[in-house]
Structure 1
């Protein structure tokens, strides 16, 4: 049972009001993941519920009251760790319980709705939105645009460096929100080749290949830079053994089997050698017994594993090595 499934069972056991209080402290992606897991719960056994609650209580027993009521400490710590520009955006979300406006509201919206909101706006505004949002949400929004629009947006995202306050203010006007003094007078670092590569990583494979070809037709050097920073499933061969072992603990066997159906022999062997002998034998047997799988299912499973890998890399749990350069 994954951590998300355990969280879903725990929340379902708490009752509506208490569960709602917990969800208020989560971000949009966390709410979506847990909500999806809750909707998929079916025939949960009593012993499973008891096991989840027991695990939760074990975790809680290790906690203390240290840090309660320490808003000032948190502010100083974030500014010291991230710098004032990066910390300011986090401070409001953390300390104000998600009471945020402007661009942050888009993170809670359906991707199709965001696409509809910015569909008729200037491409530069669209690019700023894509650069601001998480790469997986940006990729989903991009899928609702025509090919030519996707190309224009991606070229602009890759070329972004800083954004003037006036541009942010224009975007706020579109969203009918006001940053008030939050926009400040300093430019904001946003976008760039790495952001473009992260968005590309999250696109459907067919869209990704077509868009990459179009980018290279316009600017071959830029296309190569983006491609070099992209991390694809085959790049898992470059992750060290400890990282692979950590990743495998977070991936369900069902997803792994489907993903490996489309992997080359070298990557399969990399996975096998980082499992126990018994587990590797079972996985080999399951792969051989697995019938034909649609390519779209294989690509979906691989994307899911890559999403977990990137999340773990962002948390510093593993190091990804793609395109000849390490990404963390």
Structure 2
């Protein structure tokens, strides 16, 4: 579109609050308004979403009386006076939808960032433009057009229409960034690209980040990805991160976007490619479920000193080996039948008191003897082997609790 001067005039009109019909018309800008010819729409065959007329803009209809344009409204509704926002942004948004992403992008690229954001928000919320409204809008904005359009059928707006226009105007990356800023509630989590990374890669990306940034990032990833990343972070930093996750509250979307953009750039360098509420305690509980049991127990022990209320809340959300003591016997017996004597012996290594008694009491006398003998034969074993056995058992136990297959015998789970 040869529209540099007209776009500049339009941009000023948006700031001044003028409507498009108040802009200088094509032709001699000094002509009085009542001498400017009005062109009636000419019906021709449809060429996609729009119909190109055969008449050139500015041609006069010989001897025909001037036709006044009448804006139509849906049947049964009285026409309402548009608000300033409707006049300034919503009708502009509908106009850009009507002329298509290619031409719309040339106009949008000339506007101020604040105007782009407002118009984008309107485009994303528009469900459609009726043919009658389209004719009205195209006539109103005729001074911006270097060719004549008329609408054919119902034209849709929405988030995809906004995305197409922004991508055409600014390119994919900058366009997506503008879209997230304008309509944050309609955009997916900007950190989802990290879900494809291994725990080592995520830890590498976060290596030089603060504990606060790492907590923000990990709270937005799946529990499994977060646990894998924490397993590759130093113990000191790991503890600080999980404490911050538990205390997370609201995170502005622009902050998430900046962090995501920075990490995306880091990811490339290592060869891999609105306010939102976060329940930090729930996120931490989910992370600990996928972490090794010794790490979870250590976190809970340290939180018991620093923040007893938080520690108790996490214990209620997170099942530990101590909860096995309160479980019904039948599912425990079924699980033990699937385990080898060696695995049970590893599970019992270093355990005493209620947990060990619970496991032994759910085996036959002969198998108890075999498991005890197996434990003696094993002798001292690496702690990581015991932690692995504990973790496998807890994964099964927590899944059973979540699915309702395992019930704890206490007042919350049993009705007398």
Higher helix share: 1
The 5-angstrom pairing of residues 83-102 of structure 1 reads none
Structure 1 equivalent of residue 242 of structure 2: 154
> In the TM superposition, what is the alpha-carbon distance from 1:301 to its structure 2 partner?
1.3
Tell me if the contact between 1:245 and 1:274 (Cα under 8 Å) persists in the aligned partners: yes
Matched residue SS, 1:107? helix
Structure 2 equivalent of residue 170 of structure 1: 258
Deviation digits for residues 123-147 of structure 1 (CA, Å, limit 9, x no counterpart) = 4432133223444542342243345
Unaligned runs of at least 5 residues, structure 1 = 1-99, 178-184
Structure 2 equivalent of residue 243 of structure 1: 331
Question: CA separation of 1:164/1:315 partners in 2, compared to 1, >3 Å: closer, same or farther?
Answer: farther
The 5-angstrom pairing of residues 130-141 of structure 1 reads 130-135=218-223, 137-141=225-229
Alignment of 1:267 with 2:352, yes or no, is no
> In the TM superposition, what is the alpha-carbon distance from 1:158 to its structure 2 partner?
0.7
Alignment of 1:111 with 2:199, yes or no, is yes
Question: CA separation of 1:280/1:101 partners in 2, compared to 1, >3 Å: closer, same or farther?
Answer: same
What CA distance in whole angstroms lies between the structure 2 residues aligned with 1:162 and 1:252? Answer: 47
Tell me if the contact between 2:245 and 2:284 (Cα under 8 Å) persists in the aligned partners: yes
What CA distance in whole angstroms lies between the structure 1 residues aligned with 2:393 and 2:233? Answer: 26
Question: CA separation of 1:214/1:265 partners in 2, compared to 1, >3 Å: closer, same or farther?
Answer: closer
Structure with greater contact order relative to length (CA < 8 Å, sep ≥ 6): 1
Structure 2 equivalent of residue 292 of structure 1: 380
Structure 2 equivalent of residue 129 of structure 1: 217
TM-score by length of 2: 0.43
Tell me if the contact between 1:258 and 1:297 (Cα under 8 Å) persists in the aligned partners: yes
Tell me if the contact between 1:159 and 1:192 (Cα under 8 Å) persists in the aligned partners: yes
Tell me if the contact between 1:111 and 1:140 (Cα under 8 Å) persists in the aligned partners: yes
Tell me if the contact between 1:251 and 1:305 (Cα under 8 Å) persists in the aligned partners: no
Deviation digits for residues 275-308 of structure 1 (CA, Å, limit 9, x no counterpart) = 4555445434433443232333222211221122
Tell me if the contact between 1:201 and 1:232 (Cα under 8 Å) persists in the aligned partners: no
What CA distance in whole angstroms lies between the structure 2 residues aligned with 1:274 and 1:114? Answer: 42
1:316 aligns with one of 399, 404, 414 = 404
Question: CA separation of 1:312/1:109 partners in 2, compared to 1, >3 Å: closer, same or farther?
Answer: farther
Structure 1 equivalent of residue 276 of structure 2: 187
> In the TM superposition, what is the alpha-carbon distance from 1:117 to its structure 2 partner?
1.1
What CA distance in whole angstroms lies between the structure 1 residues aligned with 2:233 and 2:304? Answer: 19
The 5-angstrom pairing of residues 19-98 of structure 1 reads none
Between structure 1 and structure 2, the one with the greater Rg is 2
Report the aligned-residue RMSD.
Answer: 3.8
Alignment of 1:199 with 2:199, yes or no, is no
What CA distance in whole angstroms lies between the structure 1 residues aligned with 2:363 and 2:227? Answer: 33
Tell me if the contact between 1:135 and 1:202 (Cα under 8 Å) persists in the aligned partners: yes
> In the TM superposition, what is the alpha-carbon distance from 1:209 to its structure 2 partner?
6.0
Deviation digits for residues 18-48 of structure 1 (CA, Å, limit 9, x no counterpart) = xxxxxxxxxxxxxxxxxxxxxxxxxxxxxxx
Question: CA separation of 1:325/1:150 partners in 2, compared to 1, >3 Å: closer, same or farther?
Answer: farther
Matched residue SS, 1:144? coil
> In the TM superposition, what is the alpha-carbon distance from 1:113 to its structure 2 partner?
0.8
**Number of aligned residue pairs:** 218
What CA distance in whole angstroms lies between the structure 2 residues aligned with 1:250 and 1:191? Answer: 36
Deviation digits for residues 152-194 of structure 1 (CA, Å, limit 9, x no counterpart) = 32222111245443344334324539xxxxxxx5735x34224
What CA distance in whole angstroms lies between the structure 1 residues aligned with 2:213 and 2:191? Answer: 12
What CA distance in whole angstroms lies between the structure 2 residues aligned with 1:106 and 1:249? Answer: 39
What CA distance in whole angstroms lies between the structure 2 residues aligned with 1:299 and 1:232? Answer: 13
What CA distance in whole angstroms lies between the structure 2 residues aligned with 1:294 and 1:146? Answer: 20
Moved more, 166-175 or 205-214: 205-214
What CA distance in whole angstroms lies between the structure 2 residues aligned with 1:172 and 1:320? Answer: 41
